[in-house]
Structure 1
Amino acid sequence: MPINYETIDLPPSECFRILRWNADVNQVETLDAKIGQFRPMQGTGGQWHWHYEVEITLVESGNGVRVVGNETKEIAGDSDLVVLGRGLPHSWDFHGPSSGVCVQFSDTRIMNSLTDLGRTEMVKLVERAANGIEIPARFCEASIRILRGLAANIPTNHLETHGQLIQLLGTLASIHTQQARQISTIRFDNHQSIVNYVEMQKTVNWIMEHYDTDIQLQEVLDLVQMSKATFSRHFPKCTGVSFSQFVNQVRISNASRLLQTTLEPISVIAYRTGFSNLSNFNRIFLKLKGVSPSTYRQLEKARHKALPPTKSDSIR
């Protein structure tokens, strides 16, 4: 999964675009202002990528891994809302179907349509988003309603859509700093910062593909052609954790998926996700998840029974 630069071609008269997806984050629809309808296009959400536009993404449903900057986090359920600043690399790797809505906008273009107070709030929001911010659903119900409306309804005209976007930005800017969590501990607001992390992302991609094998550090050192000391210095900067911790996170994430979606014995799942013995698997799972694998399976089974039949209906 090499890092990609995404060019978002906004027409001269536009300052934003709206995307939505109902099953595959790489198969999206975008609102075409000229025809007033959503049309299909190839998405990039599943690729580790960056762009110069600010992004607001709401994951309505889906379980998987979200990578933003140097943080890798497992997400489960619904209403995962993030605001991502210019140049901040990101991707989503879902274990199955997912749904959501995304707004990407040029903050420099949109400034022209704001009041002085609006510009001040916009500057604050963009600055906070430089490292990415995650906002719990209980603090952003109004923002979620607006995003759902943008994805579910085709506005009668462009001005109406623009007005909803301004309202969305206002609600996000008004959220108190203590109600939002900074995602990445490192800023990626220039191209060179991103280039410096490409080699480490090769490692991340390799681990994602080989987590079920007996991974040896030397294999990775050969891949990126680094000494152990250099690698050990750079890898935590990219991922926020050590090499062994990241491997365990990926393995436990995939084990969680299998516990949710299969009836395989826990011992089989442990070996399928790269653990050489069951006791080690149980210990690491408990450390990362806070519960044992068997308890996790029971809790997920109960949670899915309590969910509505289709979480993605709200954006169809």
Structure 2
Amino acid sequence: MHKRPLYKFGYAEVGLPEEFPLVVSPIFEQGDKEITALHAHNVIEFGICLDGNGIFVVEDKVLPYHAGDASIITNREMHLAQSTKGTSSHWYWIYVNLEKILFPAFNNSEIAGADCLAGPQFNNIIHVSRYPQICAMVKQIAEIHYGRKPYRKERTISTLCLLMTELRVVFGTGKPVPRTTTRSCFEPDTLQRIQKSVAYITNHYTEKIKIRELSKLSGLSVTHFRRLFEKALGKSPVQYLAQVRVTMASAELKQGRKPISMIAYESGFKTLSSFNRHFRKQTGSSPREWRKK
């Protein structure tokens, strides 16, 4: 039986700006120095490996990584990376207070839930070969931060929302699993079968989407697809689509630039009355009231 090395442990607090609590490191060169100490941060850390390969030690886990892979380390877990001997790898590190950024934008604390992104059953390295969309979104957040295009905050918030939505679909509900159970905090068979349809919704929510198209993406009949979708996410595909549209519209409303009718149509709603009805149902207020909050 492999015996865990004796590591030293430390705490590395990350200072985040009060106004917009997200920091992206400059490109970081990860050397091949042997891991003798682990550390933890006060906030969640996302990483994207730009080149190279090596290992990540996260608590008792030893996880290999390669170029293009992403890492997710919550503030619960001690960790450190090491490149393959004789080489180095390069990373972006993203530190963020999810609740402070996402809750004001979407008035939904569940979207910031990261309970299933930690623990002995969770692989903190997200391999690009298996989850290219997740890795692309992590990289996109870093690129938005260092880019010169307008609306960086708005684009960052939207991408974070899509990233956390995708992570919850793939790895769980975002709710903590009772310690008395040995069940993993996700159900791979159910979640993976609807993953393509959820990814399609998050990328095409502004368009007309038919349930039959979504069921084909999952290789299921419409009836079976609806049943599995509701089992995995606790709501029907139509309800989930409306939720994504309202969530993205609510972030746009906070910017106060576009007319409400334009935001409604650009978010995928056919009529303003339908938008108002779904918005009030999800947020408890009208779009106009939401904008003034």
Structure-2-length-normalised TM-score: 0.50
Higher relative contact order (CA 8 A, sep 6+): 1
Structure-1-length-normalised TM-score: 0.47
